[in-house]
Amino acid sequence: MDTESVITADGLTKKFGSFTAVDNISFSVRRGEIFGFLGANGAGKTTAMRMLCGLSRPTAGRAVVAGYDVGEQPEQVKRHIGYMSQRFSLYDDLTVTENMRLFGGIYGMDGGTIRRKTAECLRSLALEDERDTLVGSLPLGWKQKLAFTVATFHEPEIVFLDEPTGGVDPMTRRTFWELIYAAADRGTTVFVTTHYMDEAEYCDRVSVMVDGRIEALDTPKALKAAMGTDNLYDVFYSLARKAERG
């Protein structure tokens, strides 16, 4: 793994009136790292991710993503990252290939590159026979894999995954993580939020947010050792139960 940091946050803070959603967090993520961003509902992880994606301006502090300041250069940040949410970020009323072409255009890819990448992705996903199928009619697992492929279609340096495997079976989740491993092996940094502790075990490092602050950050093995447990769920529960806000 490259030791170069492609995400850095320094005192990153977001307030909504008198409420502090993200409270002075600092951390870095290395190139090619799979970084798990954990926290109970209301902990502030989604707000933090929105700032890192250039979708929300920080109230204080600074973050640099793919070499661009999220507060001053949000549009540049957006063009150098990929993003996938639990809702899959696809258009159900467009076909498989139409979704790929649409997002390729949004990311500024030229026509020839879009056609080449579409053919490559259809082969890798074994979806060549479904190229003209409406995405809305695909099984959930296929939608999930297609959404990840679309999020990385333009070969971004970093891909942000916000609860990407919610609602799918364990076998499909495992298959999805094989796509994540393959992306990381190609040098793509993966920043992922998840509620599944077995998925958190797959990450190189994980952080746990509580009440807008990062309460712990280390490898899964080190966090478990520090808490004297062999179960990452115990680590998460022990930290999350300290939360004072719902």
Kindly tell me if the per-residue pLDDT of 106 is higher than 90: no
Contacts of 145 (CB under 8 A, 6+ apart): 125, 175, 176, 179
What confidence score (pLDDT) does residue 246 get? 59
Determine the average pLDDT of the residues in 114-140: 93
Tell me the average pLDDT of the chain. 92
- Give the whole-number percent of the chain exceeding pLDDT 70: 97
What confidence score (pLDDT) does residue 89 get? 75
CA 61/CA 140 separation, integer angstroms: 39
pTM: 0.91
**Least confident segment among 35-49, 69-83, 100-114, 232-246:** 232-246
What confidence score (pLDDT) does residue 228 get? 95
Determine the average pLDDT of the residues in 105-109: 88
What confidence score (pLDDT) does residue 165 get? 84
Kindly tell me if the per-residue pLDDT of 222 is higher than 90: yes
Kindly tell me if the per-residue pLDDT of 35 is higher than 70: yes
CA 184/CA 172 separation, integer angstroms: 19
What confidence score (pLDDT) does residue 22 get? 97
What confidence score (pLDDT) does residue 208 get? 95
Determine the average pLDDT of the residues in 61-86: 93
What confidence score (pLDDT) does residue 71 get? 94
CA 117/CA 227 separation, integer angstroms: 45
- Give the whole-number percent of the chain exceeding pLDDT 90: 75
Kindly tell me if the per-residue pLDDT of 3 is higher than 80: no
What confidence score (pLDDT) does residue 129 get? 95
What confidence score (pLDDT) does residue 102 get? 94
What confidence score (pLDDT) does residue 174 get? 87
What confidence score (pLDDT) does residue 83 get? 92
CA 128/CA 184 separation, integer angstroms: 25
pLDDT in tens, 44-70: 999 999 999 999 999 999 999 999 999
Tell me how many degrees the CA angle 193-198-203 measures, rounded to the nearest 5: 55
Kindly tell me if the per-residue pLDDT of 81 is higher than 80: yes
Interstrand relation of 5-16 and 213-218 (parallel, antiparallel or unpaired) = unpaired
CA 187/CA 184 separation, integer angstroms: 5
Kindly tell me if the per-residue pLDDT of 1 is higher than 70: no
pLDDT in tens, 151-183: 999 999 999 999 888 777 888 888 889 999 999
